């Protein structure tokens, strides 16, 4: 039993040791991965890519097996993260009478080498590279730097590497053109830094004009030239106009704010004046003899009242009453009802039809059955314009 315990204990210790070693190896692998950099080396038409934790130029050349001639140059570009580009610029001899067998470089060769490495040179980089290649310096390595920046161009974000220099030159490098309507959140004359976030907003202003109506008021004037149930328009009301001018601000095409520039009355309203009558209508009394036996019957023959020929009709009166209500004859003052003798009444007046060109609606006329009010008309007027047709319930 003791031997079994010793065996288990030894096995357990061994498992712990393996786990610890595994964790150390994993941590080391993660650390190495985080330090590793991708290096692209371009030599003419040949491109080599390697991953290394020692990205210094000599170590890279040793690993790739590239050897430099006496006058050859290297152009090394480091971004601010993990990428490195090394371009080999080969020198060649040119015979000149004043300086025989002089080593020189072709600008086209240098540019082609950089393009092969997937790089586009800025104007400043091109000038720096040309000066370095033309100098007699013994320095082999020409160093350029690139920085990753984010630019929000009027709502569209781009993240790219740009060469060292001013922010303005970086925007030019990215092909971003500024206009007098753009505002930038940083000073474009300052130097580019890694992780820089630039925001460019297009600010535009529009002047808009809005017209609003101004209501007119209504005043009433009493006049003794009209009856109390009559009104007349002395002055028709006309709406006025107000013009408002605003300056609206838009950022990246979206409305942001508005500023009122002008608010003025461009057309004064004309107030309405309505005349309302104060004259009381005279009481109507009629002196006539009713031709009949004292009550309304379905008569035949010709009858004349104080206003002329009288006839009688029985039709639905809802439409006629509605028309009179629209003219101002309210249900309170002029209720519709049927008198005991069968006459259809509007208030205290018998409803009659007449020629409206002679007796307009609302006219009070005498009839053989009492005072009547003109509410309707009919085809009879073409034969007898002065005839009255009395509304009855029979």
User: Which H or E run includes 348?
Assistant: none
Domain that holds residue 8: 1-33
Q: In sequence order, what DSSP letters do the residues of 284-298 get, joined into one string?
A: P------SSSSS---
- At 24 the pLDDT is 42
Q: Say which DSSP state 178 is in.
A: P
145 and 227, same domain (yes or no): no
- At 351 the pLDDT is 97
Phi, psi of 380 (to 5 degrees): -60, -20
45 and 188, same domain (yes or no): yes
- At 128 the pLDDT is 67
189 and 220, same domain (yes or no): no
29 and 62, same domain (yes or no): no
For range 377-389, the mean pLDDT:
93
Residue 385 CB neighbours (<10 A): 13
Q: Mean pLDDT for the chain?
A: 80
Is residue 286 included in any domain, yes or no? no
187 and 40, same domain (yes or no): yes
Alpha helices in the chain (DSSP H): 2-35, 57-64, 107-116, 123-134, 167-173, 318-326
Residue in the structure block whose two tokens are 């009395």:
390
3-state secondary structure (DSSP) of residue 205: strand
95 and 148, same domain (yes or no): yes
74 and 188, same domain (yes or no): yes
Contact status, residue 288 vs residue 306, Cβ threshold 8 Å: yes
Span 43-97, pLDDT tens digits: 877 889 888 888 888 888 888 888 887 777 788 877 766 678 888 888 766 555 5
Strand partners, 337: 345
Is residue 292 included in any domain, yes or no? no
251 and 275, same domain (yes or no): yes
Is residue 2 included in any domain, yes or no? yes
182 and 273, same domain (yes or no): no
Is residue 216 very low, low, confident or very high in pLDDT (cuts 50, 70, 90)?
A: very high
In 3D space, the residue among 286, 261, 270 whose CA is nearest the CA of residue 349 turns out to be 286
Residue 241 CB neighbours (<10 A): 14
Quote the tokens at residue 283: 């009481």
Is residue 187 included in any domain, yes or no? yes
Span 94-149, pLDDT tens digits: 555 555 454 555 544 555 555 545 567 777 777 767 766 766 666 778 777 788 89
Is residue 288 included in any domain, yes or no? no
Is residue 287 included in any domain, yes or no? no
151 and 99, same domain (yes or no): yes
- At 73 the pLDDT is 79
Domain count, the chain: 4
In 3D space, the residue among 363, 351, 361 whose CA is nearest the CA of residue 391 turns out to be 351
153 and 262, same domain (yes or no): no
Is residue 71 included in any domain, yes or no? yes
Quote the tokens at residue 146: 């690139």
C-alpha–C-alpha distance, residues 233 and 270, integer Å = 13
- The residue among 165 and 133 whose pLDDT is bigger is 165
Is residue 5 very low, low, confident or very high in pLDDT (cuts 50, 70, 90)?
A: very low
23 and 45, same domain (yes or no): no
C-alpha–C-alpha distance, residues 279 and 226, integer Å = 6
Span 258-290, pLDDT tens digits: 999 999 999 999 999 999 999 887 654 444 444
């Amino acid at each position: 039993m003791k031997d079994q315990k010793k065996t288990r204990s030894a096995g357990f210790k061994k498992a712990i040791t393996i786990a610890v070693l595994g964790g150390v190896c994993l941590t080391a692998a993660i650390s190495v991965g985080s330090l590793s950099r991708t290096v692209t080396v371009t030599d003419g038409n040949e491109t080599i890519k390697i991953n290394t934790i020692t990205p210094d130029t000599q170590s890279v050349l040793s690993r790739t097996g590239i050897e430099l001639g006496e006058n050859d140059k290297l152009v090394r570009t480091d971004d601010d993260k993990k990428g490195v580009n090394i371009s080999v610029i080969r020198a060649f001899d040119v015979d000149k009478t004043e300086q025989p067998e002089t080593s020189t470089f072709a600008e086209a060769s240098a540019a082609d080498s950089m393009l092969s490495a997937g790089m586009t040179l800025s104007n400043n980089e091109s000038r720096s590279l040309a000066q370095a290649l033309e100098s007699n310096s013994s320095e082999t390595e020409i160093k350029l730097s690139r920085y990753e920046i984010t630019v929000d161009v009027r709502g569209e974000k781009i993240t790219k590497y740009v060469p060292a220099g001013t922010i303005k030159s970086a925007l030019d490098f990215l092909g971003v053109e500024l206009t007098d309507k753009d505002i930038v959140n940083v000073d474009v004359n300052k130097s580019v830094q890694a992780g820089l976030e630039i925001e460019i907003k297009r600010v535009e202003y529009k002047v808009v004009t809005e017209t609003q109506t101004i209501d007119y008021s209504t005043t009433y004037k009493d006049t003794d030239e009209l009856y109390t149930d009559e009104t007349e328009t002395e002055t028709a009301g006309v709406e006025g106009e107000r013009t408002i001018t605003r300056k609206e601000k838009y950022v990246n095409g979206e409305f942001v704010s508005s500023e009122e520039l002008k608010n003025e009355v461009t057309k004064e309203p004309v107030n309405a004046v309505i005349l309302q009558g104060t004259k009381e209508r005279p009481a109507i009394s009629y002196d006539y003899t009713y031709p009949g036996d004292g009550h309304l019957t379905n008569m035949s023959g010709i009858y004349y009242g104080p206003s002329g020929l009288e006839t009688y009709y029985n039709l639905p009166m809802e439409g006629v009453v509605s028309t009179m209500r629209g003219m101002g004859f309210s249900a309170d003052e002029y209720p519709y009802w049927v008198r005991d003798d069968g006459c259809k009444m509007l208030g205290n007046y018998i409803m009659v039809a007449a020629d409206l060109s002679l007796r307009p609606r609302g006219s009070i006329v005498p009839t053989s059955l009492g005072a009547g009010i003109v509410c309707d008309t009919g085809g009879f007027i073409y034969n007898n314009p002065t005839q009255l047709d009395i509304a009855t319930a029979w």
